[in-house]
Amino acid sequence: MRAMLGGIAGSLRRGDAVTLVGFGTFSAVRRKPRTIENPRTGRKVTVSGRLPRFKPSKELKQAVR
């Protein structure tokens, strides 16, 4: 299980999508830069990066219903 999750994480780190047929697709999407304020210090920081996303397959959606 750890090896599989490590493989998915490594692929997402490289920017590749991972499709598990009958389950869904994992992908990494780029978040647009935004400015936030640290509530403790009041300092403004720009945050950006990539986030993991999951899109369930039609079969998984039907199985859950």
7-53 per-position pLDDT tens digit: 999 999 999 999 999 999 999 999 999 999 999 999 999 988 899 99
DSSP of 23-48, one letter per residue? Answer: TEEEEEEEEEEEEEE-TTT--EEEEE
| pLDDT higher than 90, residue 57 | yes
**pTM of the predicted structure, to 2 decimals:** 0.73
Could you tell me if 49 and 40 are in contact, meaning their C-beta atoms sit under 8 angstroms apart?
no
Indicate the pLDDT class of residue 2, thresholds 50, 70 and 90.
very high
